[in-house]
Structure 1
């Protein structure tokens, strides 16, 4: 009887001790995950890991080797404010209310400017009922921080614990991110690490960091741009700024690694929109929405390249899924967690990704609504007010202040590069209602296949799918009353 009693007591003791031994490990596995979103400004899908000629992006390439690289990643809109707000809401701009660039406070402004008492409040912004990523993270005990610029509206819907306007200096990024980590203390953190390059002015980036400027003869000129000496000089500064952005991203990674945080941090690298050239930024074409996307962190397959169709509206639900925070019903994106883990190769039920452009800024001349659907090969565009003339944003055509020499270089190439010249002029007036491109065989989108007999079936398929998406997401952009409302907002 005593033996049995001793056995029972011993068993209980072993059980208690084993529980005590497991507790620290269990608490470690339950340690809240940190998140760092590295967001460059106006960077197309250009990385040495993606095969871009003439440049090296060693830091993001290393991130890709330790995680996953996506080749079919798309912003939902090719303008800064609505793109960033789509990321922070997991919604399309026409659905969340933030459909154009907005005037917002600077990160150097005082706290009051980020409240309802702000002196900088735009008429356009996300709807009040929508919960943003910064709001949800702060509600769940996260320290949140943002760098470089704000550019989202209204300001009180995007609360951050800390702000810093650091722009393009790798060394400064080290200091600022280190400070954020220190200030977070024992809190898990979310950093929206915005990086200024390769947004124009490209001259400024290369004047500050000339060692990143590549040889203009070693780079590749996209097919939609005229391959002239002047264009190559401009593009070299763009690609140099991509390399500078990579160095800034590397500094952020160095801080996380040095502080032993990488093992418990989800890192996402992408850009808000495509490159700062006409027929890319502020337009619905492939180069305006196709962006780099790399993810690394715990429970993510290493060294894999994925061709899955993913969208910026997938970022917020993915982050919330990783953090075990309920995903709001307003969300229109899908979690990518099962793809990151290798469980699935694509999002179940997703055949297409969608995009849109409404207006770059508040100027009515810049209002030119378009809608996009892409199936991985064929890229279909509807220009909803195709009869209207369109004015390019200043940074896409003005040299003084913006340093843009590509616009004039294209005009000067009218005789030598007539196709590229015509593509530019079509932007301003003369676009068709429907455009269809086979980007697999025509990456520059030089030949519009819409209306051609052999592509009518594909055109109808994409047209119908786009129509269903617009109805499902409440896209009323060409409704007469909706147009009147937007004109009042402008």
Structure 2
């Protein structure tokens, strides 16, 4: 009898043990199934150059960018692929250079307030310039892989049906409104992973419109730094103080986005890229091949990404798409010309493997032929080489870089009025408009604002030849047929 009891309790014990193990496995399985998916948020300022307080600028503060930098990895050599809005955003979303993807200038696109038809193949107004149909875009790939996608502020990409977003909202410069919109986007995403392209309008002109609505972000004109390529006059300081004030406003909007992700429990499982579409909204910056139009602030945060790291690696906006896809473990299309930054982000590499140079370009800001001035750029981290493909051509600056009416731009007039007191800055403007040398070479270590062209200096002959050769190879590999952009055939850059 005693033996039977022992056998009974032994069987009972092991039965309970087996059930507990099974229950534990099922519980573990449930945990895996309910684990939050990885998300992506791309925060894009509009026309903000490499101007943040953490990078040493004075007279204004970027507390959210600075704080975010300590939580992720900040890049000091990040460059847009092109210094104009539409081609830059299409470049980001294709991982390709504008001359390769076909979107080589600013285009007419729908407003985010427009109905769904305006973003479909039934759209009644579509710009003749846009990316080629065979190219897979980032929003297309993410939508196909079950992501909820959303965009704010403006669209500015062509053709619209190649950039499908699940939701759109025109919010553009109000921190409180960004909190509401991002909260709503997260709610609408449900159980799906999400991708938000959070466009923020400042510091794009009109500065006055932004500062009139949010005067608390205005800065003291006497405390700011005037870049050496612009004349240091009261009129210029007034304009620049509004630009820096707009940067403070944009930083607050970005901070509201990040704060909302934290409040909703999505921060730690989200890849966040915080940058700008291009550089400063000033002549010899935006819509030009010079560094001030391409150099941008750039921080990345996310799971398994280095924290508090500052990197000097050379990176380009064509790297954003492959970086996002590799982070999500999704295939990268063969058309992509950038490289994934993931090995740098997680600390496996100090620099992007196989990369000695980065490249950029300018073609035309808008459709007006007078705004067409094709240039190509190669940068090795110190020396910056520009090839102007039509050097003798006169150039009409885009309206927002020269007119006060509609754009509140005082910088152009301030430079013209400073002809006698600041002749160097005046001559830089006139050279920009009336014809530049075929080749330009600058030592960025000793000449940040590119004031001294070294292209004809004998001491720099070998460096010029090296960079010219690198540029020619890149142009050949990427099918750079400047005179007929519609017929460009794309090839992936050799790795």
Q: TM-score, normalised by structure 1?
A: 0.95
Alignment of 1:253 with 2:258, yes or no, is yes
CA distance in 2, matches of 1:12, 1:331: 52
> Residue 370 of structure 1 contacts residue 381 of structure 1 at CA under 8 Å; is this kept in 2?
yes
Q: Distance in 2 between matches of 1:448 and 1:5?
A: 88
- The equivalent of 1:138 in structure 2 is 143
Instruction: Provide the C-alpha distance between the structure 2 equivalents of 1:22 and 1:174, rounded to a whole number of angstroms.
Output: 34
Question: Which residue is equivalent to 2:203?
Answer: 198
Partner of 1:234: 239
Range that drifts further, 431-440 or 45-54:
45-54
Instruction: Determine if the alignment matches structure 1 residue 292 to structure 2 residue 294.
Output: no
Aligned with 1:432: secondary structure? coil
8 Å contact 2:75–2:298 — kept in the other structure? yes
Which residue number corresponds to residue 169 of structure 2? 164
* RMSD of aligned alpha carbons: 1.9
Q: How does 1:28-107 map to 2 (within 5 A)?
A: 31-107=36-112
Three-state SS of the structure 2 residue aligned to 1:116 is coil
State the distance in 1 between where 2:486 and 2:249 align.
Answer: 43
Sort the Cα spacing of 1:484 and 1:107 in 2 relative to 1 into closer, same or farther, 3 A.
closer
Match of 1:356 in 2: 361
CA deviation profile, 1:84-103 (whole Å, cap 9, x unmatched): 00000000000000000000
Partner of 1:218: 223
CA contact (8 A) 1:43 1:272 kept: yes
CA distance in 2, matches of 1:331, 1:4: 64
Give the alignment partner of residue 472 of structure 1, picking from 471, 477, 483.
477
| Per-residue deviation, 1:17 | 4.9
Distance of 2:313 and 2:485 partners within structure 1: 35
Q: 2:130–2:157: 8 Å Cα contact kept in structure 1?
A: yes
Work out whether residues 395 and 435 of structure 2, in 8 Å CA contact, stay in contact via their aligned partners in 1. no
Alignment of 1:374-453 (within 5 A): 374-453=379-458
2:29 aligned to 12, 23, 32, which one? 23
CA positional deviation for 1:365: 0.3
Q: Is 1:366 paired with 2:371? A: yes
Q: SS in structure 2 opposite 1:190?
A: strand
- What CA deviation, in whole Å up to 9, does each residue of 1:283-327 have, x standing for no partner? 000000000101112111111111100000000011111111111
Q: Deviations over 1:56-101 (max 9, x none)?
A: 1111111111111110000000000000000000000000000000
Taking the TM superposition and a 5 Å limit, the aligned residue runs for 1:273-288 are: 273-288=278-293
Normalized against structure 2, the TM-score is what? 0.94
Residue 450 of structure 1: how far off its partner (Å): 0.1
Query: In structure 1, how many angstroms separate the alpha carbons of the residues matched to 2:411 and 2:472?
Result: 35
Structure 1 residue 265, shift from structure 2 partner: 0.8
Report the CA distance between 1:21 and its aligned residue. 4.5
* Displacement after TM superposition at 1:27 (Å): 3.9
SS in 1 for 2:373: strand
- Equivalent of 2:268 in 255, 263, 268: 263
Q: Give the unaligned 5+ runs of structure 2.
A: 1-6, 489-495
- What SS does the corresponding residue of 1:217 show, helix, strand or coil? helix
Deviations 1:358-396 (A, max 9, x none): 000000000110000000010000000111111000000
Preserved CA contact (<8 Å) 1:80 1:272 = yes
Contact kept, 8 Å, 1:32 with 1:323, in 2: the verdict is no
CA distance in 1, matches of 2:10, 2:79: 67
Task: Please list the CA deviations of residues 384-428 of structure 1 after superposition, one character each: whole Å capped at 9, or x if unmatched.
Answer: 011111100000000011000000000011111111101000111
SS at match of 1:242: helix
Which ranges of structure 1 fall in alignment gaps of 5 or more residues?
none
Q: 2:318 aligns with which of 304, 309, 313?
A: 313
Distance 2:450 2:155 in 1: 33
